[in-house]
Structure 1
Amino acid sequence: MKTILVPLDHTAAEATLAYANKLAVRWPAEIVVLYCHPDAEASAAVLMFEEQRLSSLVERLRYQQLTRHDGRRIRYRYRVLAGCLHDHVQTEALTCAADLLVMGLEHIDCDRQEAPGNHAAAITERVSCPVLVVPPGRRSLPTRLAFCANFTTLGLNILPRLAALEAAFPAPLDLVQFYAPTERPRRRQLLQGLRRASSHLGWTTTASHLLEDDAPLEGIGEFCARVQAQLLVIAPGSTAELLRYFDGCYRATSAYHTRIPLLVVRSAAPAPTTSCCDRCAERLSREAQTSQLPAAYRAALPA
């Protein structure tokens, strides 16, 4: 059974869940809805209330943009936890064996407002499955995709993860790589990397494009606009590289790639979980100090 993990907050939850619903019908897949309450000491009654809110939202959207037959086909599970999504998402993704994580571009975590995409960039470091970042607004599933990466250095282990999503996105896929003018002598090597990736990917319909541009982010936005791609797939080599896609200057100018969903596929193993705010840092510090005490002393400490 394929599983889509959908972390929600109370900002653009409807757009995120509506997109996940369409994916779940097409794939098909089960949806695990995850909500993390910002109060780490929230009572059971509060968490139960939040689960009821989630259930009401799910039932309303189940038939709002889908036919009644399709709406009935989707299976949902709910996970409502106290604390930060950053602290829980790695465990939850492993527990439900998530094949895909779908979250909003402007997701808010730990009651902390961030620039759009910053929380999503942090989440991709904590899970091994692909992460789909959905901008606000209603949209249909894509009829054309673009996959931008450095295919000469891209690990081939990343391609099966992407190929597994073909049933969810049965659309033509363009492989795109940009190179700077100084890299012209390497064109043959770059083309070989593109062909190798295409053969290992096994996507039904692919086209390869090797384009010269010393500003690849501007280039990929122009390429997606030209071919009218509705989803951009990237394989960033670092968090800094991923954050550049969400840079404020591109959002201020409404660059095309900021207005379509972004699918992030990471080949590296998830980084160790770290704190996402001062409150979490203090709690993790206390836990680390406690773990260094002798077992007899730990047993005597209050739970």
Structure 2
Amino acid sequence: MKTILILTDFSDPSLNAARYAAGLSSELNTSRIILYHSFLPLPMATELPVPPPLPSEDPYGRSNRQLNTLKDELSVKLSERVHIETRTGEGPFVSSVMTLVRDENIDMVVMGTSAKGTLERIIMGSNTLELIRKCKVPLLVIPPEAKYKPVHVVAFASDLKDVSDKTPVLKIKPIIDLLNARLLVFNVSEEGVRSFHADLIKEQKELHERWGTESVEYHYVNHKDIAEGIMRFAEDNNVQLVIVIPGKHEFFESFFHRSISKKLAYHTRIPLLIVNTE
């Protein structure tokens, strides 16, 4: 993970995500961090000691000033070998991020979730779900209450559908190796679903073969709500990072919308690493 792109709007959740990413960067052997802000109108509630904008200050200048303030804060926490750069933009959010990912050879994108309202309001606005689906590199989503600590246990959630085509082992394995973490591969099925019919057994076999001889633990659990079942499994097994694939199971939509209970939504502190299969 040589280069990490951190998206920020200077809200408290996005600043928390930036601080989390700074801590994680040492585990990922990161040497370059890019801080990006799109200065389209967004609500801001910064806790950084930034003076109010001058009446004559243009959005570009204000964005750069706040980025440099965040850069100075993170620089104190990072080793000298990590170089921090800043970027601003005012074009369409998703396409701007995708251009940065391509042109700057980004290995991972980091963003935060909103602490206000429901989880369907995520920082960066309504384009976030589109970004999650289109981002070609791993996208790390940090809940507002998540605080960085070394990652020792990682869980990968599989829905056991089209495992051979939709299990991005080659994208996940390098991250697990860098973290030197224990990997739990698990499936959550709705209560009452039979776990031993022929098609499911075939997918389970394929799942094991995809990981080969890697040191992986497999778990198969039942829960009435798949989204909640995934997060309960993570909490019960002291997981510090959950890996999910967008569009593969109900958890993806549930986590970012209202079908997951408010209690779980507000109290989950486990970051999500979203990995596309393309």
- Indicate yes or no: 2:157 matched with 1:148: yes
Q: In 2, distance between residues paired with 1:92 and 1:168? A: 24
Question: Structure 1 CA distance, aligned partners of 2:250 and 2:189?
Answer: 19
- Paired residue secondary structure (2:65): helix
Partner Cα distance (1:190, 1:238) in 2: 14
Name the counterpart of 1:16: 17
Whose helix proportion is higher, 1 or 2? 1
1:170 aligns with 2:170: no
AA aligned to 2:82 is I
In structure 2, relative to structure 1, the CA distance for the partners of 1:76 and 1:239 (3 Å cut) is: farther
Are 1:252 and 2:253 counterparts? no
Structure with the bigger RCO (C-alpha within 8 Å, sep 6+) is 2
Structure with the greater alpha carbon radius of gyration: 1
Q: Distance in 2 between matches of 1:9 and 1:96?
A: 20
State whether residues 19 and 139 of structure 1, in contact with CA within 8 Å, keep that contact through their aligned partners in structure 2. yes
Q: Residue 129 of structure 1 corresponds to which residue in structure 2?
A: 137
Code of the residue aligned with 2:122 in structure 1: it is P
- Structure 2 unaligned runs (5+)? 42-55
Moved more, 248-257 or 84-93: 248-257
Query: How much has 1:165 moved relative to structure 2?
Result: 1.4
Q: Partner of 1:98: helix, strand, or coil?
A: coil
Q: Distance in 1 between matches of 2:235 and 2:120?
A: 27
- Taking structure 2 as the reference length, the TM-score comes to 0.79
CA distance in 1, matches of 2:172, 2:266: 22
Task: For residue 253 of structure 1, give the secondary structure of its aligned residue in structure 2.
Answer: helix
User: Residue type of the partner of 1:189?
Assistant: K
Q: Which residue does 1:160 correspond to in 2?
A: 170
Moved more, 47-56 or 243-252: 243-252
Q: Which residue of 1 aligns with 2:2?
A: 2
Q: Describe the SS at the equivalent of 1:166.
A: helix
* Conserved 8 A contact 1:174-1:206: yes
TM-score under structure 1 normalisation?
A: 0.73
C-alpha displacement of 1:79: 1.1
Measured in 1, the distance between the counterparts of 2:266 and 2:156 equals: 15
How far is 1:152 from its partner?
4.3
**CA–CA separation in structure 1 for the residues paired with 2:195 and 2:2:** 41
Change (3 A) 1:79 1:251: farther
The 5-angstrom pairing of residues 1-303 of structure 1 reads 2-11=2-11, 12-29=13-30, 30-38=32-40, 45-63=58-76, 66=77, 70-106=78-114, 115-116=121-122, 119-137=127-145, 138-154=147-163, 155=165, 158-180=168-190, 181-186=193-198, 187-199=200-212, 202=214, 205-237=215-247, 242-250=252-260, 252-255=262-265, 258-268=268-278
8 A Cα contact 2:246 2:274, kept in partner: yes
Pairwise CA distance, 1:107: 9.4
Unaligned runs of 5+ in 1: 269-303
Identity of aligned residues (%): 21
SS in 2 for 1:5: strand
